[in-house]
Chain A
Amino acid sequence: MTGMQKLYLLVPLAPLFGAIVAGLFGKVVGRAGAHTVTILGVAVSFVSSLFVFQDVQAGNAFNGTLYTWATSGGLTFEVGFLIDTLTVMMMLVVTFVSLMVHIYTIGYMSEDPGYQRFFSYISLFTFSMLMLVMSNNFLQLFFGWEAVGLVSYLLIGFWYTRPTAIFANMKAFLVNRVGDFGFLLGIGLVAAYAGTLNYAEVFAKADSLVAMTVPATGWPLMTAICIGLFIGAMGKSAQVPLHVWLPDSMEGPTPISALIHAATMVTAGIFMVARMSPLFELSETALSFVLVIGATTALFMGFLGIVQNDIKRVVAYSTLSQLGYMTVALGVSAYSAAVFHLMTHAFFKALLFLGAGSVIIGMHHDQDMRNMGGLWKYMPVTWITSLLGSLALIGFPFLSGFYSKDMIIEAVKLSHLPGSGYAYFCVIVGVFVTAFYSFRMYFLVFHGEERFGKAHDDHHAHDDGHAKAEAHADGHDDHHDDHADEHHHGLAPGQKPHESPWVVTVPLALLAIPSVIVGYLTVEPMLFGGFFDKVIHMSEAHGVMHELGEEFHGAAAMAIHGLTSLPFALAMAGVVLAYLFYMVAPAIPAAIMRTFKPLHTLLENKYYFDRFNELVFAGGARLLGRGLWKFGDQALIDGMVVNGSAKFVGFIAQLSKLFQSGHIYQYAFSMIIGVFILLTFWFNRG
């Protein structure tokens, strides 16, 4: 093993070590010990990733096996690493955001009794995510895939006494399992027809698989594989209709919302599809499917962000919408743009989440934006960094989000794939929606009237949807606040919000830096400098990135051109409208809400996805189970067959009992009858 290979190994193992120490020996090492060892582990991992990055930049790549997991039927299941530009970019993003979140957690979770457990989980997550992105084969991919799902499950249910949290974590796990179902079938088809699970070997065989169909279905093999794999991505990356778990995952502590449910885990699906570009390029049907699902998610989840009052849920819906953008990019074969947006989004969305968390700390665990307002005065660092994050999110020129999002929009515009017209409409309207809900949140939280410190009973009685959101928020507070029996949470009358401690604000500042500059610095090398050339495959027919490259004349020129473009105008319109609605004339949104009541109700109920799933899938499964149990097992098998045969034996016994009466004269009589019958036969035998 070379030194570099040892370094590869160190990247995932350092956080694993931290997780084990903090998890199993949490009592021994104490709170400080737990956060020291896990932060050190992730820091080692980050620094190692930097060295690996340098090595990869120098042109080195690695594809090798660590150990053979199992062998069977000609298949070799292995655990191994594939280190290339895509991997190393993900490694950097994961370890950097994870490091920031680890530090932030010291402040956010300082009063929580599950402190060590929390650090153990987030380090374990980091390990799992790294194993996922560093994998060189489908088996390990699936390992990491499920492992991050497990940690997500554990963290959403971190406050395990809260009914909403333990409902949300089960929901997240099961919805993800629906995705994994497709994912497993996709992997199964790869194994069955490519005869290997190693990426490189599968890609090498991809061309020979194109002409095949799946027996017993008649589907083109490559389309079936890609759609199967993508269904997995839909679960993990929360694409419609498997998105329902992500908003509920906000029941978990905010640091993990930033790390897992915004920056890293949910992008695993995007990463996976980008990694599989040599396969997806071979199926236009699959690409169209990806495109339409992504576009739908991008626009329709954005709409939901508009009606949320819980600060975390706004950011959650914004995450859904942005994941939709990435998926759209995948669909039009702009894989590098998708991955680029994944990276910039990881920074600014982690920033927005951690900013929201900082606001929540400042508000004493009140998450309702209607109780905020004017916080800029009290929380300057949080305010500035959140503003930068919001600007990056809406794609303000020169900020990182601008480069990645604009690139996606341009790519969709150039695509000729079926569904690209719809997708272009979605992403362009999405720009306006994003700007509107982002600045709605920004104004409600940081500007305007100071609404905190007042009794907010009037909000409770708003209407059904709001009452529900309140219930969530209240559920949150019940556990976290020491005064659980207090009815009101948040700030008491007269109390003022306060800026968070340095362990919270420093990560905000450190995340704000890449949110602002990373796009400007890396757009050229990453998208047009051949960074992903050997990794991401784009067929001639889907040359949108190539066309974009011809129009690209440097990052600065792109931003300046962006100032006059349609997306920028739409984004500004969104900001201005949000300003009008929430700063100038708050009566307008209320009036609109009244006028378009049915629409508002539809949005408040999240298009009734949850209720539908609850009723049809959860309810249907229980009903089916009960029916099969009561009718099949109990009535049919036990009642008729088993007990029936017992009764039948009993019936025969009853009959035969008649012949064993114990009375000599009956026996004698039957003997005589028998003798007569025998004699009759004997005489008549001739």
Chain B
Amino acid sequence: MTGIPFLSLAIWVPIVGGLLALATGSDRNASAARFVALFFALAGLVVSIPLYTGFDVTTSAMQFVESYAWIPRFNIYYALGVDGISVLFVLLNSFITLIVVIAGWEVIQVKVAQYMAGFLIMSGLINGIFSALDGVLFYVFFEASLIPLFIIIGVWGGPNRVYAAIKFFLYTLAGSLLMLIALLYLFMESGGSFNILDWHQLKLGMDAQTLIFWAFLASFAVKIPMFPVHTWLPDAHVEAPTGGSIVLAAIGLKLGAYGFLRFSLPIAPDASQAFAPLIITLSLIAVIYIGFVALVQTDMKKLVAYSSISHMGFVTLGFFIFNPLGMEGALVQMISHGFVSGAMFACIGVLYDRMHSRQIADYGGVVNVMPKFAALFMLFSMANSGLPATSGFVGEFMVALGAVQFNFWVGFAAATTLIVGAAYTLWMYKRVVFGAITNHHVSELTDINNREFVFLAILAVCVLVMGIYPFPVTEVMHASVNDLLKHVAASKL
């Protein structure tokens, strides 16, 4: 370890960049804001890379640890660290930030500085969530990261953004408060510690565990989102600008899932075991029910939003079957979903920028005028359907194998996604891209420009490389996942 605080850099480089972008002021300096944002997004990714290259895969201990007293009176620390579970998400987040900056480059023409700043600041805060080892620090990052997203949807969003924002607010409010109470309770019980790792070792009775489990569930289930608290997501996606959708899908949905692994499972292992059947049921409902709902959507963004919920069902399923295949598959699925859903929303954004419509019925025959786009969109659609040699396959396959190992019928239900997932994705693709040109708006479309090609191609490479050689991704997580599973298997009672 070199002693360079890479985690702090990963958090603060984008935030400083965001503030600098804000400082460029009005839209007269828009291009300055763009280049500042690009530079700092790139810098944010560069400082995140050593987290992977310097990562020791043999240990489940926290690495790149930093700890400074923040509010000593309450034992609150600025404590950071990553393990095999969180390190990949810091990288993913820094990467997606770069993609979003490129994706919004010339698409956003009003309040450019603020738009770019919003994403950069959010990126720093999210890196904070994934690396915080202190309960309060986590909570601050967790709640603060919502503000930029609210602003992004609220300012650059669609016509119905207020409804979407309020819906989201109603959903998150209760969860956040309950989580805060749980954090305070843990502070008391642990004799005045906000250290998350201390909490992992804390002995708790079944009643306390149950309450804590539900308090965290209330918060995390909304973020993932799990059935039946998922209905905010399609509305939020529909109203969000493309960049907002990309971050929301690629990173935002992972926060809740990450919370399960960092809080619910290790702090309340017995309650987690006890409520596993419930979570598994809800996950399977998400996979199947939401899959059918996605099938009949008429709005592309809603369709992909529902497909995200369905894919996240695989993630929660993987967590709660408590075997390494399931959990690692779920983590891989989270990373892959970051690429694939991000790319799907980016593709829809490319179409929306040209046609100003997300309705499937307004399209048809796009391949005739946008062949390059059609090829890339095909790749991402196939990844969304879990085709082997794309990243979408890896996680689904591992979770499915883990599920069969856990219980044949659970595996059976989960595997239906092979059919339903392919059905809704390919049916949409067929109606939008294939066929003869349906109207003169489509005939006037122009194929993707170099900028669009670049970010879609980068995502395509990620999707393919991870599908063909996921070893580097799974390798990182073994020690931490095995440790976590061992921890969950040991009763705290």
Chain A positions within 8 Å of B, measured between CB atoms, are 67-75, 139, 142-143, 145-147, 150, 154, 157, 160-161, 163, 166-167, 170, 173-174, 177-178, 180-181, 184-185, 187-189, 191-192, 214-217, 224, 621-622, 624-626, 628-629, 632-633, 637-638, 641-642, 645-646
**From residue A519, how far is it (CB to closest CB) to chain B in Å?**
35
Residues from 421 to 463 in B contacting A, C-beta threshold 8 Å:
422-423, 426-427, 430, 433-436
Q: Which residues of B contact A170 (CB under 8 A)?
A: 426-427, 430
- What CA separation (Å) do A188 and B325 show in the bound complex? 11
Given A67-B469, A68-B471, A143-B388: A188 touches B418 (CB 8 Å cut-off)? no
**From residue A622, how far is it (CB to closest CB) to chain B in Å?**
6
Given A143-B388, A188-B404: A180 touches B418 (CB 8 Å cut-off)? yes
Residues from 36 to 69 in B contacting A, C-beta threshold 8 Å:
none
Some 5 contacts from A to B, beta carbons below 8 A apart, are A177-B423, A184-B397, A188-B405, A191-B401, A216-B408
B204 within 8 A of A: no
B289 within 8 A of A: yes
Contact call A633/B405, Cβ cutoff below 8 A: no
Given A166-B435, A177-B419: A622 touches B388 (CB 8 Å cut-off)? no
Q: Which residues of A contact B427 (CB under 8 A)?
A: 170
Residues from 276 to 322 in B contacting A, C-beta threshold 8 Å:
289, 292-297
Given A70-B474, A184-B400, A185-B412: A624 touches B292 (CB 8 Å cut-off)? yes
Contact call B293/A73, Cβ cutoff below 8 A: no
Contact call B328/A69, Cβ cutoff below 8 A: no
Contact call A625/B408, Cβ cutoff below 8 A: no
Given A170-B430, A184-B418, A642-B171: A71 touches B474 (CB 8 Å cut-off)? yes
Q: How many residues of B contact A (CB 8 A)?
A: 63
**Contact with A73, one of B294, B323, B368, B408 (Cβ below 8 angstroms):** B323
Contact call B367/A143, Cβ cutoff below 8 A: no
Chain B positions within 8 Å of A, measured between CB atoms, are 166-167, 170-171, 228, 231-232, 289, 292-297, 323-325, 328-329, 365, 367-368, 378, 382, 387-389, 393-394, 397-398, 400-405, 407-409, 411-412, 415-416, 418-420, 422-423, 426-427, 430, 433-436, 469-471, 473-475, 478
| Chain A interface helix/strand/loop/mixed | helix
Contact call A189/B294, Cβ cutoff below 8 A: no
Q: Which residues of B contact A646 (CB under 8 A)?
A: 166, 170
Nearest B-chain residue to A645, judged by Cβ: B170
Contact call B368/A177, Cβ cutoff below 8 A: no
Which of A73, A625, A642 is the most central at the interface, judged by chain B CB atoms within 10 Å of its CB? Answer: A73
8 closest Cβ pairs, A-B complex: A188-B404, A73-B324, A625-B292, A625-B296, A192-B405, A73-B325, A166-B434, A625-B295
Given A150-B382, A216-B407, A642-B167: A628 touches B471 (CB 8 Å cut-off)? no
Q: Which residues of B contact A69 (CB under 8 A)?
A: 469-471
Nearest A-chain residue to B329, judged by Cβ: A72
- What CA separation (Å) do A633 and B292 show in the bound complex? 12
**From residue B170, how far is it (CB to closest CB) to chain A in Å?**
6
Which of B171, B228, B378, B473 is the most central at the interface, judged by chain A CB atoms within 10 Å of its CB? Answer: B228
Nearest A-chain residue to B406, judged by Cβ: A192
- What CA separation (Å) do A626 and B388 show in the bound complex? 30
Contact call B387/A146, Cβ cutoff below 8 A: yes
| Chain B interface helix/strand/loop/mixed | helix
Q: Which residues of B contact A217 (CB under 8 A)?
A: 408-409
Q: Which residues of B contact A188 (CB under 8 A)?
A: 400-401, 403-405, 411, 415
Which of B166, B409, B423 is the most central at the interface, judged by chain A CB atoms within 10 Å of its CB? Answer: B423
Which of B228, B292, B328 is the most central at the interface, judged by chain A CB atoms within 10 Å of its CB? Answer: B292
- What CA separation (Å) do A72 and B402 show in the bound complex? 10
Q: A72-B324, A161-B436, A185-B411 are in contact. List 11 more A-B contacts (CB 8 A).
A: A72-B325, A73-B328, A74-B324, A75-B401, A146-B388, A147-B387, A166-B434, A184-B415, A621-B292, A626-B296, A646-B170
- What CA separation (Å) do A224 and B478 show in the bound complex? 31
Contact call B231/A637, Cβ cutoff below 8 A: yes
**Contact with A625, one of B294, B409, B473 (Cβ below 8 angstroms):** B294
Q: Which residues of A contact B398 (CB under 8 A)?
A: 70, 72
- What CA separation (Å) do A624 and B296 show in the bound complex? 9
Which of B170, B296, B367, B407 is the most central at the interface, judged by chain A CB atoms within 10 Å of its CB? Answer: B296
Contact call A621/B469, Cβ cutoff below 8 A: no
Q: Which residues of A contact B475 (CB under 8 A)?
A: 71
**A-B Cβ contacts below 8 A, count:** 151
Q: Which residues of B contact A192 (CB under 8 A)?
A: 401, 404-405
Nearest A-chain residue to B431, judged by Cβ: A166
Q: Which residues of A contact B289 (CB under 8 A)?
A: 628, 632
Contact call A70/B402, Cβ cutoff below 8 A: no
**From residue A255, how far is it (CB to closest CB) to chain B in Å?**
21
Nearest A-chain residue to B403, judged by Cβ: A188
Contact call B422/A173, Cβ cutoff below 8 A: yes
- What CA separation (Å) do A329 and B433 show in the bound complex? 42
- What CA separation (Å) do A637 and B477 show in the bound complex? 36
Which of A180, A184, A637 is the most central at the interface, judged by chain B CB atoms within 10 Å of its CB? Answer: A184
Contact call A633/B231, Cβ cutoff below 8 A: yes
**From residue B422, how far is it (CB to closest CB) to chain A in Å?**
5
- What CA separation (Å) do A72 and B397 show in the bound complex? 12
**From residue A617, how far is it (CB to closest CB) to chain B in Å?**
9
Q: Which residues of B contact A160 (CB under 8 A)?
A: 367, 433-435
- What CA separation (Å) do A641 and B473 show in the bound complex? 40
- What CA separation (Å) do A187 and B398 show in the bound complex? 11
Nearest A-chain residue to B232, judged by Cβ: A642
Contact call A622/B295, Cβ cutoff below 8 A: yes
**From residue A475, how far is it (CB to closest CB) to chain B in Å?**
11
- What CA separation (Å) do A322 and B423 show in the bound complex? 29
Contact call A174/B405, Cβ cutoff below 8 A: no
- What CA separation (Å) do A178 and B416 show in the bound complex? 8
Contact call A215/B170, Cβ cutoff below 8 A: no
**From residue B97, how far is it (CB to closest CB) to chain A in Å?**
27
- What CA separation (Å) do A181 and B414 show in the bound complex? 10
Which of B400, B408, B474 is the most central at the interface, judged by chain A CB atoms within 10 Å of its CB? Answer: B408
Contact call A178/B419, Cβ cutoff below 8 A: yes
- What CA separation (Å) do A442 and B401 show in the bound complex? 49
Contact call B404/A191, Cβ cutoff below 8 A: yes
Q: Which residues of B contact A187 (CB under 8 A)?
A: 401
- What CA separation (Å) do A411 and B488 show in the bound complex? 56
**From residue A12, how far is it (CB to closest CB) to chain B in Å?**
13
- What CA separation (Å) do A181 and B389 show in the bound complex? 17
Contact call B416/A181, Cβ cutoff below 8 A: yes
Given A189-B408, A216-B409: A181 touches B231 (CB 8 Å cut-off)? no
Nearest A-chain residue to B166, judged by Cβ: A646
Which of B412, B418, B471 is the most central at the interface, judged by chain A CB atoms within 10 Å of its CB? Answer: B418
- What CA separation (Å) do A592 and B169 show in the bound complex? 72
**From residue A541, how far is it (CB to closest CB) to chain B in Å?**
28
- What CA separation (Å) do A177 and B367 show in the bound complex? 24
- What CA separation (Å) do A143 and B464 show in the bound complex? 13
Nearest B-chain residue to A636, judged by Cβ: B228
**From residue A220, how far is it (CB to closest CB) to chain B in Å?**
13
- What CA separation (Å) do A142 and B296 show in the bound complex? 29
**From residue B221, how far is it (CB to closest CB) to chain A in Å?**
13
**From residue B224, how far is it (CB to closest CB) to chain A in Å?**
15
Given A150-B382, A628-B293: A71 touches B471 (CB 8 Å cut-off)? yes
- What CA separation (Å) do A167 and B171 show in the bound complex? 40
**From residue B435, how far is it (CB to closest CB) to chain A in Å?**
6
Q: Which residues of B contact A625 (CB under 8 A)?
A: 292-296
Contact call A637/B323, Cβ cutoff below 8 A: no
Contact call B394/A70, Cβ cutoff below 8 A: yes
Q: Which residues of A contact B407 (CB under 8 A)?
A: 215-216
Q: Which residues of B contact A214 (CB under 8 A)?
A: 408
Q: Which residues of B contact A621 (CB under 8 A)?
A: 292, 295, 420, 423
- What CA separation (Å) do A145 and B387 show in the bound complex? 10
Contact call B478/A71, Cβ cutoff below 8 A: yes
